[in-house]
Amino acid sequence: MAYIEGFLIPVPSANKAAYTDMAERAAAIFKKHGVTSVVECWGADVPDGKVTSFPMAVKLKPDETVVFSWMVWPSRAVRDAGFQSAMEEFEATGFQASHLFDGQRMVFGGFESILEA
């Protein structure tokens, strides 16, 4: 089954267009290296929680929006090889995204699929 990498990212709301442009360019590179699908979602109804929530997870500031995104890889093995080669391409081309959001507050992880319906 597929291997999923998921992300929560606090993005300044004013950077929506620039973030979208960066995400499109990054998706093209990741697809060259094995990703089958990239989904980027701009928060529209993301409530604060009392114990935990998406905004709390990224320490969201008032002028920011939570972005929820994921990439689908065919397998963990394809991800491990493809991610490394994608990072090399980002570095070789001078691709930068760090100016668009605070990466220290990004939450991310890899997940093995257990159900696809």
For the stretch 62-94, pLDDT in tens is: 999 999 999 999 999 999 999 999 999 988 988
Q: Which residues span the domain enclosing 56?
A: 9-66+76-98
Res 66: pLDDT = 98
53: domain CATH number is 3.30.70.100
Measure the CA–CA gap between 84 and 30, rounded to whole angstroms: 10
Res 49: pLDDT = 95
Half-sphere exposure of 59 (CA within 13 A, CB side): 6
Does any domain span residue 54?
Answer: yes
Res 98: pLDDT = 75
Does any domain span residue 13?
Answer: yes
- Cβ atoms of 78 and 2 closer than 8 Å: no
Res 94: pLDDT = 85
How many domains would you assign to the chain?
1
Does any domain span residue 1?
Answer: no
Low-confidence residues of the chain: pLDDT under 70: none
Res 99: pLDDT = 83
Beta-carbon contacts of 52 under 8 Å, excluding residues fewer than 6 positions away, are: none
